[in-house]
Amino acid sequence: MDANSLLGKVTGGVQGTFLDWLSGVINIAVGLAALVCVGILIYSGYMYITAAGDEGKVSTATKSLTYAIVGLVICFIAVILVRFVLGTILGQAS
């Protein structure tokens, strides 16, 4: 591999298209949403452990766990959907 081909790979993302930019923004947004879901999962687990049998706290922790898991599943589905749309419909390799 020569220096020109390496340089082309390094600077290739700078002159990307709007679809490249949009794909990057969507991937970052979905990644941040997944990070928030994992944080809520950890916090909900902590709430569940420290509930000490209190019905209200256990109920709140269970609802938070359920919502965080649903949110995480939605994040994974969003990634698959974005890749499908960009790859199949718009004809761009992601």
Domains of the chain: which residue ranges?
Answer: 16-89
* Per-residue pLDDT at 64: 93
Low-confidence ranges of the chain (pLDDT < 70): 1-16, 92-94
* Per-residue pLDDT at 93: 54
Quote the Cα angle for 60-66-72, to 5°: 135
Please report, in angstroms and rounded to a whole number, the separation of the first and last CA atoms in the chain. Answer: 24
Q: Which of left, alpha, beta for 90 (phi over 0: left; psi -120 to 50: alpha)?
A: alpha
Q: Are 75 and 30 in contact (CB under 8 A)?
A: yes
Output the pTM of the full model.
0.67
**Number of helices (H), then strands (E), in the chain:** 3, 0
* Per-residue pLDDT at 46: 94
* Per-residue pLDDT at 78: 84
